[in-house]
A and B are shown apart, each in its own frame.
Chain A
Amino acid sequence: MKYLDEFRDKTLAEPLLAELQRAVTKPFRVMEVCGTHTMSIFRSGMRSLLPEGLDLVSGPGCPVCVTSASHIDAIIAMAQMENTRIALFGDLFRVPGSENRSLANASSQGAHVDIVYSAMDSLELARKYPDDLIIFLGVGFETTTPGIAATIMAAHNQQIDNFAVFSTHKVMPPPLIALLDDPELQIDGLLCPGHVSAIIGASAFQPLVDKYNLSCVVGGFEPSDILQALILLARQIAKGEPKIENAYTRVVSWESNARATKMVEEIFEPADMEWRGLGMIPASGLTIRDKYAHFDVTKRLDIKLKPAKEPKGCRCGEILKGKEQPTACPLFGKRCTPANPIGPCMVSSEGTCAAFYKYGE
């Protein structure tokens, strides 16, 4: 396939790997922020080819993984109410909340749960089931939020009454700042998320360069894109000149996408948000503005989040912070597997534990 095959082929990858080998002149540590990067690195078998001295750690960029147990508990409670249907993206289906209960369990006990491929599909559900309230689970970073904002706008314009969103939307730079303030986390560079950057612009990472002297390179998701980004990071780190570079120019600009940003700002406003593993982070999430309160399920059904305990022994928090590898978790591969996940990092196709388990590290 055009624009994919050439980025997954030896013809490009081999010289890039050789160049990366030359560029790595001292040991350094890079965090890949986005779960899609993590998965691509594993899927392409890149880890078996990377030069010694280059240490990759996964960050908090898997939207499913960072959804807190208290949010999942609230979702399950909504699913079990009379006349509700939950519409969601597939990989949330098996994420456990507290007491290891997931939407998959709720569904098996009769809750109506529909996996959709686009938020807009939930408006179809609303038309199909006029007596039910369709609750779309708004999960994700800047990449997914514009589509959900557009869906709320469409519901508003079309006066679709039986549709609401449970917003756990999160925004990108704040959790990285929370992580970088932690002295235990030693990283030299960030592989910045390509698709999030397509919305917020590469310039959004400038505060991280200024405050933490961190090398930042925006990278695409194909193996050759990632290799190119790693070469730029290695060169920056070797020179000791941290800055932002964009290795994904076919998609990402320096400035933000004005149209998408405007759409999101029309519907949502910043809010404090609880992250799994990272706790409450100020202004790291998005809530629906009062003007569109009718589409905010927390207001419509008076949903209150209750504190929820993380599963006992689960190390997802430390793994999401990039402090530990999944193999350090006592549950990994024993009690916690993709078929019977205990922590969220094992559920999502983008989760670090799932990647380690699936691809055998």
Chain B
Amino acid sequence: MKTDKCVLLDHGSGGIASQELISQLFLKYLDDPILGSLEDSAVLPNQPGKIAFSTDSYVVDPLFFPGGNIGTLAVHGTINDLAMRGARPLCLSLGLILEEGFPLQDLEQIIISIADCCKSANVPVVTGDTKVVPRGKCDKIFINTSGIGFVPDDVSVSSTMAKEGDSILLSGSMGDHGITIMTRRAGISLEGNLASDSAALHELVALLLDKLPAGSLHTLRDPTRGGVATSLNEIAEASNLTAEITEQDIPVHKEVRAACEIMGLDPLYLANEGKCLLLVDPQYAKQALQLMQSTDVGKEAAIIGTLTAGKGGRVVLRTGIGGSRVISPLHGEPLPRIC
């Protein structure tokens, strides 16, 4: 396929141009036999356990950023949503909405990333759809992915399973994705290695479910938009307990902290795309920590706090100077401050 060209309305017409796009671009990289059969729906083999089903749409701007692109987010995001319920992801759907005039070269790069992520996660795209809208009717490319996974019968992971005394763990540093996008959007170039943390967490989750005693991993949550602060508030709300966390125990890369200082942002509220919060029976917190630290995506994992009996639905931060304050959920988009 010639790469100096761009997306035309014809590419979404269902005619020859659509077929060309499918055969010369999508199937070239996404080489799954079920997808390649080009049937109206994918028929999948049955699996033992309960079905997990999740969907998410991706409209990130900029499309490309250090650490990933809209395609990597679309794969990792939906895989992670499945994994957060203890599911083993089986397959994905891929829906693309393209703006007329979008460079085919960029589309190809995104599809290659999607294919690479699917391959390394071992979760294929098995069905897809493409629409093209006239110029100005969408912003370059929007992606939707849905995913199906299976939860083993003996696994039950949810926010409502959190218990008083549970240890709160975070699988790595927070804020990397959010600050990378915000600084790019603002055109701020900072020295250092700011990069999105876009990553799939299902293998980490599978390891924990496999090695920890059954029932000791109570809750998993990926702190995407709204950050760790918002996810912890949701957990505290669902469990009617207080989440107490210690500021100095929460891993934050120094580049992220520096950028947050400049822009007046709080890393607790920044999005993550390859991290999870875990609530674990305190007896097994250390084991969970060591298991995570043995993996690439979890090597900076830390125990950051405890779920306590205090006022329900509340998150309290123990600060560096020994004080405490309440952490509320995010209200509106984080805005940079004036001074």
Q: Which A residues are closer than 8 A to B by beta carbons?
A: 1, 4-5, 8-10, 13-14, 17, 36, 42-49, 63-64, 89-94, 115-117, 121, 139-141, 143-144, 195, 223-224, 337-339, 348-350, 357-360
Does A8 contact B325, Cβ atoms closer than 8 Å? no
Does A42 contact B337, Cβ atoms closer than 8 Å? no
Residues of B within 8 A of A13 (CB): 320-322
Verify if B188 is at the interface (C-beta below 8 Å from A).
yes
Residues of A within 8 A of B257 (CB): 1
Verify if B317 is at the interface (C-beta below 8 Å from A).
yes
Residues of A within 8 A of B339 (CB): 36, 63, 140-141, 143-144, 195
CA distance A143 to B337 in the complex (A): 13
Does A49 contact B322, Cβ atoms closer than 8 Å? yes
Does A89 contact B332, Cβ atoms closer than 8 Å? no
Does A44 contact B319, Cβ atoms closer than 8 Å? yes
Does B323 contact A350, Cβ atoms closer than 8 Å? no
Does B337 contact A338, Cβ atoms closer than 8 Å? no
**CB of B174 to closest CB in A, whole Å:** 16
Residues of B within 8 A of A350 (CB): 337-338
Verify if B335 is at the interface (C-beta below 8 Å from A).
yes
Does A9 contact B188, Cβ atoms closer than 8 Å? no
Residues of B within 8 A of A224 (CB): 321
10 contacts between A and B (CB under 8 A): A42-B325, A44-B319, A44-B321, A63-B338, A90-B336, A90-B337, A94-B335, A139-B338, A338-B332, A348-B338
CA distance A144 to B314 in the complex (A): 36
Does A14 contact B263, Cβ atoms closer than 8 Å? no
Q: A359-B325, A359-B326, A360-B314 are in contact. List 16 more A-B contacts (CB 8 A).
A: A1-B261, A13-B320, A13-B322, A14-B322, A43-B266, A43-B319, A48-B324, A90-B335, A90-B338, A91-B338, A92-B338, A140-B338, A223-B321, A339-B331, A349-B335, A358-B328
Residues of A within 8 A of B317 (CB): 45
Does A1 contact B321, Cβ atoms closer than 8 Å? no
Does A91 contact B320, Cβ atoms closer than 8 Å? no
**CB of A112 to closest CB in B, whole Å:** 15
User: A47 touches which one: B186, B261, B323, B328 (CB < 8 A)?
Assistant: B323
- In chain B, residues 292-339, which have Cβ atoms closer than 8 Å to a Cβ of chain A? 314, 317-326, 328, 331-332, 335-339
CA distance A284 to B167 in the complex (A): 53
**CB of A288 to closest CB in B, whole Å:** 19
B258's nearest neighbour on chain A, judged by CB, is: A1
Residues of A within 8 A of B323 (CB): 44-49
A48's nearest neighbour on chain B, judged by CB, is: B323
Does A93 contact B321, Cβ atoms closer than 8 Å? no
**CB of B67 to closest CB in A, whole Å:** 22
User: A115 touches which one: B264, B314, B328, B336 (CB < 8 A)?
Assistant: B336
**CB of A222 to closest CB in B, whole Å:** 9
Verify if B254 is at the interface (C-beta below 8 Å from A).
yes
A4's nearest neighbour on chain B, judged by CB, is: B261
Given A1-B254, A357-B328: A45 touches B319 (CB 8 Å cut-off): yes
Does B336 contact A91, Cβ atoms closer than 8 Å? yes
Residues of B within 8 A of A139 (CB): 338
CA distance A352 to B324 in the complex (A): 18
Does A45 contact B325, Cβ atoms closer than 8 Å? yes
Verify if B187 is at the interface (C-beta below 8 Å from A).
yes
Residues of A within 8 A of B318 (CB): 45
CA distance A92 to B261 in the complex (A): 19
Does A117 contact B332, Cβ atoms closer than 8 Å? no
CA distance A92 to B339 in the complex (A): 12
CA distance A9 to B323 in the complex (A): 11
Residues of B within 8 A of A4 (CB): 261
CA distance A42 to B325 in the complex (A): 7
A5's nearest neighbour on chain B, judged by CB, is: B320
Given A45-B319, A63-B339, A89-B337: A339 touches B332 (CB 8 Å cut-off): yes
